[in-house]
């Protein structure tokens, strides 16, 4: 679409690539999310994250790493939870 000599996006939303990773850091699933901000995509993907299936996820905006989340917890965390 062209208005007054400039290009206007039909959608102001960004297309983010989300990689869900296993405990070895290997990507086992990739999704694409269209959101209007980094915060919106982080919220959406965090709600979909299933700690029992994978180790976490990475959100990318083209070449830019937006968010890196891991579900790791140490043995010390487990001991504290049991206390």
Q: Where are the alpha helices (DSSP H) in the chain?
A: 38-48, 75-82
Total number of domains in the chain: 1
pTM score, two decimals?
Answer: 0.70
User: Are 81 and 73 within 8 A, CB to CB?
Assistant: no
17-76 pLDDT per residue, tens? 999 998 888 999 999 999 999 999 999 999 887 777 789 999 999 999 999 999 876 544
Domain that holds residue 22: 2-82
């Amino acid at each position: 679409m062209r208005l007054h000599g400039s290009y206007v996006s039909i959608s102001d939303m960004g297309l983010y690539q989300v990689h869900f990773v296993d405990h070895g850091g290997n990507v086992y699933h990739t999704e694409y999310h269209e959101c209007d901000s980094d915060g919106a995509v982080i919220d959406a993907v965090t709600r979909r994250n299933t700690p029992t299936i994978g180790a976490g996820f990475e959100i990318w905006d083209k070449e830019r790493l937006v968010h890196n989340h891991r579900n790791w917890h140490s043995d010390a965390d487990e001991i504290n939870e049991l206390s």
